[in-house]
Amino acid sequence: MDDKSYHANASSSSSGVQKARQPKQLLQFDKSYRPAFYGIWPKKRESGKDKKPYMPPRELHAQKTHSMPPQKMEIFKSLEPWAEQNLLLLLKPVEKSWQPQDFLPDPASEGFHEQVEELRERTKEIPDDYFVVLVGDMITEEALPTYQTMINTLDGVRDETGASPAPWAVWTRAWTAEENRHGDLLNKYLYLSGRVDMKNIEKTIQYLIGSGMDPGTENNPYLGYIYTSFQERATFISHGNTARLAKEHGDIKLAQICGTIAADEKRHETAYTKIVEKLFEIDPDGTIVCLADMMRRKVAMPAHLMYDGQDDNLFEHYSAVAQRIGVYTARDYADIVEFLVQRWNVTKLTGLSGEGHRAQDFVCGLAPRIRKLEERAQARAKKSSLLPFSWIFGRELKV
């Protein structure tokens, strides 16, 4: 595949890495709307008796685990009072929270069918490319069980019992409960619109949750909270842009829905960036090294293992449409890096080790480099082609 440049990762012999048939690689792409893939590029899917029916369609190998030194576990234990005072206050009480039904036709009302017809009338002129991106965003939200699972792999902050009263665990469960409304609301709205193939969408969700994700966080809460800081910012931008486009297409209710979800993501971004800010205060050297580590491998999107049973490159194609219509772009990626560098005052860090200084220099110069690479990639970009999307009944879109 000529759009890949392979960077071998030689760390597969370390004790924290499982044995694999292939060495771990960071796979980066010339088309910068496609995020780097950290792990093993999935082999061609096996068919017939060679493929075990219970295995996910994409398998990752050689995943590094438990990279945080054990002595740093105490940092997160000591931060529990801080988490209670600074994180849990950012949660909204359930009784004061919006619910999906606040935005949807009321099935108990006599005017339910008329309300559904009004919804369908509003959405009938919205273009297919918008719906593909909205579906991709919804599927990403619906894979929430994977994200809670990922956070509960992090050493020192995981929910040890499933109902732990520890502040880190309370935050993770309540964050999950708030996020759960996002996919629920978008799913129902899309279902009522009649514009999309719900069965193929539902298959994609099941495939994605079954495949999981490996963002390269290595059970390390430093990496984990850097990752979630980035992702909450990315989803805030993405939902904000779908809100803007929905308004342009004349669906004010859908714009309100996407804007409300974006506001949640912004509040969650505030929480996760506060955590990393605190880590910079306590352990600036360790935190900047982890930030550089995450940025070097490039942040993998949560739904990078997306598959609908038909398109082996579904995430790439969905991302291409999102880039084309301006929902989430390579420029947004660079802007997020720049935002986080400023948010955490990375340029002003002092007293760093040699490794810390090198990490600081790398991170502070990254956003301009990404923008330059994006300009070159755009100049080299191949002509677009038409590809079918199962989510819109096989209709073709430009990617």
Cβ neighbours of 90 (radius 10 Å): 16
**Residue 160 designated active-site:** no
**Could you tell me the CA-to-CA distances from 85 to 126, 158, 193, 222, 267 in Å, in that order?**
44, 18, 42, 20, 16
The residue from 232, 293, 311, 316 that is catalytic is 232
How far is Cα 326 from Cα 123, in angstroms, rounded to an integer? 19
The residue from 140, 146, 235, 287 that is catalytic is 235
Element (H, E) at 280: helix 252-282
The residue from 137, 214, 251, 265 that is catalytic is 265
The residue from 264, 269, 285, 374 that is catalytic is 264
The residue from 61, 268, 304, 317 that is catalytic is 268
The residue from 137, 141, 214, 218 that is catalytic is 141
- In 3-state terms the chain splits into helix, strand, coil percentages (rounded to 5) of 60, 5, 35
**Residue 182 designated active-site:** yes
How far is Cα 181 from Cα 204, in angstroms, rounded to an integer? 19
How far is Cα 347 from Cα 371, in angstroms, rounded to an integer? 19
Burial of 239 (0-12, 13-18, 19+ CB in 10 A): buried
What are the φ and ψ backbone dihedral angles of 119, each rounded to 5 degrees? -60, -45
- Contact present, 215 and 227 (Cβ < 8 Å): yes
**Residue 317 designated active-site:** no
The residue from 137, 140, 175, 182 that is catalytic is 182
**Residue 141 designated active-site:** yes
Our measurement of the distance from residue 320's CA atom to the centroid of its chain's CA atoms, rounded to an integer in Å, reads 16
Which value, to the nearest 10 degrees, does the dihedral of the CA atoms of residues 365, 369, 371, 376 take? 170
Our measurement of the distance from residue 147's CA atom to the centroid of its chain's CA atoms, rounded to an integer in Å, reads 9
How far is Cα 335 from Cα 368, in angstroms, rounded to an integer? 9
The residue from 179, 214, 308, 316 that is catalytic is 179
**Residue 264 designated active-site:** yes
**Residue 98 designated active-site:** yes
The residue from 98, 176, 260, 270 that is catalytic is 98
The residues that are catalytic are 98, 141, 179, 182, 232, 235, 264-265, 268
